Amino acid sequence: MAYSCLLSLGLRSTFLLVCLHYVLGDVYMHNPRGSNDRLNANGQNRQNANRLFDSQNNAKGGYNVGELPYRNGGGSQDLQYAMKYFMSGSKYRSSGGQSHLTIEWTNQHGCGHGDLDCNIVLQYMCQDNRYESLDDTRRNKDIDTIRNGRTEATIGYRAVNINSKRQKNDQKARQARLDRGMHEPWEWHDKCRKRQRNKGLFTADQNMKDNIGSTSTRQNPNGNRHGYECAEERDYYPYWHPTDWKDMAVYVTNKAHCAFYEYFSFNRHPKGECLERYPGNDGFKHYSQYNNPTECKQRGGVWTLFHSFIDFKGEYKDKASCESASTNDVPLVWGIPYRSEYVDALAIDKATNKPQEFCLVQAPKLDCRLSPVSRPNHLGNVKDAQAMNYTWIIPYFPSQVEKRCAVRIRYNISTYDYDGNSTFSDKNGNNSPVKNDPEVKFQTESGRDNFELQLAVNTAQFGRTFQDRSHVMVLMPRQSNGNDIADDVAVYNLNVRGKRGNIVQVYPAVEYDFVPKDLSCTSNDVVHIQWTGSTRNPGNNDGEGARGTDKSNMVEIDDSGINVKIKNDGKMISEGTKLIYTPDNKIKSMEDVRVALATSGFDFSGAKRGRLGVSENRRLTFQDQLNNSPASYSVALSFAPGSYKYMCTRNNNFSNRNQKGSIRVSASTRPQ
């Protein structure tokens, strides 16, 4: 992803792109929980590195999917817990109402220092959250749903010739099984497999395959498949074709590169794709082999510019009314919307012979930042003893429909051994400036000693992209399902990272902690406290309570140095605290909130005891290490001014692990 590798799509004057040419270094997302291709198996290593995406990471990394309260999500998608976050308010860019989510990760080979060039790209993918049940595999209408799956197996795919829309839908229904995890839709990989790869790219001395389309890259020359990911899109940024991913942020080592990234981000810069028709005027195909406008037009295709979008504004029916209504809070553009699974379903405008245009809500502009300095050979913290992190301001979606999303991070480190600005496909093969495991000459100044030393170079990995992705999450409107958060109120998400085990057992994941560990807000802001966990961690991992289980809670303490005495008369949860949101309809008072936070939402009423195998006619006794408490809990509060400290009683094990946090609340100056 280094800015120094400017390439072209066949013709250098047509398109510019930025090349990811990299060496070794993993990346692991800790908040939200990064899967590293895990689902819910209870082994130390993930079971399937091809399940959803190509991470290139160590198999030991990653976190299992969370589980619903009083459910074991091991065999059912409907019993998995999706972390839920509130959207920002309608004027979050101009007058407040931002929703803050801390994304936290570690990357192995550093960034921001002179040993290498690096980029870190954060993106997200969303769709309306309208599905009914992902466990009913007969429900083909849910086939495009972003999902975790209920099995570790890779979703199916077989390349076939498709000559009609019906044939395409039949193939898709056979291959895209609902019990398998899926982020990118079936159409995305199929078009990647059938579209010509960019032959203007530098591929060193790798033997590329030209019969498997854009799935063959320098990093992935044999076209190995990982879910429905497209290898070419994964390995190059910004990608030169439309993509379903929305840009969130990019960290760079040279701030001068930001103008390039910002301009070519698909968030605001339309990208082209060749559309060809099915025989018999059966509409546009979802794929074409042609990757540039010249060949597309010569072969009878229609080169079409698509726009990225996060929502529709259907009340505006023409370009003038749409773009005149655009604001900084809700940026609008008139154009052809891009979703790879819907390309062949778009209505055709007879006047232009292209898909119909709509009024689209654009994603916020790419946020380009200078990377903090972190050192190589290190999966640890940066400045201020914090992990690498980015605060995502969750967008506002005018439709106010729940969104089902996934977040991904790509980490790219590039070598300075050749100039990416001038290294193109003419340097491939024997002309490559880098070779596998070369020998270099060592010679003393006097010439007395002259010998060779062998270097460790793999040209497929000398350029390399690493990746992690979250499990499925949900973005919620502020006013729905009983929620009522004012439009201009800030929301801060307070979560738990980590999983069961000591520091060696969980590595390269991390032990438990709160994220952010130290939070500052005002008395008018909302703090959405939420955690999730799995009951299927390795059974021999260290920790308190029942083997294999993630559990957390929150109780107030006087000081962060305290480990024994909890604060039962504290002010953190008191009469000055306001309950803003909870999915638990039994919570009626601040006393209920304190109990729920201390017990991770244990159901003292007994309403759900039957699901735990306990008789309905006798009371279930609370277990003091949270063994029979839910692994997931959520509540949103506004706090009175003050400084509060808290900890988790189960996981705070002095000299072994620490799970504590603080909230500093200042008085709000906003009129009540």
Residue 242: the pLDDT is 98
What is the rounded average pLDDT of the residues 239-255? 97
Residue ranges per domain, the chain?
Answer: 12-62+106-386+403-473, 477-666
CA angle 38, 43, 44 (to 5 degrees): 85
Q: Which residue has the higher pLDDT, 312 or 108?
A: 312
- Please state, in angstroms and as integers, the Cα–Cα distance from residue 437 to each residue in 193, 205, 219, 425, 430, following that order: 31, 12, 16, 21, 15
Quick: pLDDT tens for 320-338: 999 999 999 999 999 999 9
Residue 616: the pLDDT is 38
Q: Where are the beta strands (DSSP E) in 437-504?
A: 439-443, 450-454, 465-469, 473-476, 491-497
Mean pLDDT lowest among 6-20, 321-335, 340-354, 367-381: 6-20
DSSP run (H or E) holding 295: helix 293-298
Query: In which region does residue 25 sit, left (phi positive, over 0), alpha (psi from -120 to 50) or beta (all else)?
Result: left
Mean pLDDT lowest among 84-88, 105-109, 165-169, 207-211: 207-211
* 83 closest CA partner among 100, 63, 67: 67
For 616-630, give the DSSP string.
Answer: TTSPPPPPTTSTTS-
Residue 426: the pLDDT is 59
Residue where the block lists tokens 């009951």 = 535
Fold of 477-666: Immunoglobulin-like (2.60.40)
pLDDT band, very low/low/confident/very high, at 207 (cuts 50, 70, 90)? confident
Radius of gyration of the chain from Cα atoms? 26
Say if CB 515 and CB 496 are below 8 A apart: yes
CA–CA separation, 243 and 237 (whole Å): 11
* Residue 464 pLDDT > 90: no
Say if CB 51 and CB 125 are below 8 A apart: no
Residues whose CB is less than 8 angstroms from the CB of residue 259 and which lie 6 or more positions away in sequence, other chains included: none
Mean pLDDT lowest among 158-167, 613-622, 659-668: 613-622
The three-state secondary structure class of 524 is coil
pLDDT band, very low/low/confident/very high, at 136 (cuts 50, 70, 90)? low
Residue where the block lists tokens 């006047």 = 351
Residue 14: the pLDDT is 33
238 upstream amide cis, omega within 30 of 0: yes
HEC secondary structure over 51-91? CCCCCCCCCCCCCCCEECCCCCHHHCCCCEECCEEECCCCC
The three-state secondary structure class of 369 is strand
Mean pLDDT lowest among 259-268, 334-343, 452-461: 452-461
pLDDT band, very low/low/confident/very high, at 454 (cuts 50, 70, 90)? confident
Q: Round the average pLDDT of the chain to a whole number and report it.
A: 88
Q: Which residue has the higher pLDDT, 109 or 567?
A: 567
Quick: pLDDT tens for 505-531: 999 999 999 999 999 999 999 999 999
Quick: pLDDT tens for 6-52: 333 333 323 334 443 334 469 999 999 999 999 999 999 999 999 99
Residue 611: the pLDDT is 41
Highest mean pLDDT out of 75-79, 182-186, 342-346, 653-657: 182-186
Residue where the block lists tokens 């079409």 = 304
What percent of the chain is predicted at pLDDT more than 70?
89
Residue 664: the pLDDT is 98
Report residue 562 as tokens: 């305290």
Quick: pLDDT tens for 383-438: 778 899 999 999 999 999 999 999 999 998 777 676 666 666 655 656 666 777 78
Say if CB 241 and CB 271 are below 8 A apart: yes
What is the rounded average pLDDT of the residues 626-639? 96
The three-state secondary structure class of 322 is helix
Say if CB 63 and CB 469 are below 8 A apart: no
* Residue 490 pLDDT > 70: yes
What is the rounded average pLDDT of the residues 343-367? 92
How many CB atoms within 10 Å of residue 542? 16
Residue 2: the pLDDT is 37
What is the rounded average pLDDT of the residues 353-357? 89
Residue 524: the pLDDT is 96
CA–CA separation, 37 and 284 (whole Å): 34
Residue where the block lists tokens 């259907």 = 314
Residue 509: the pLDDT is 97
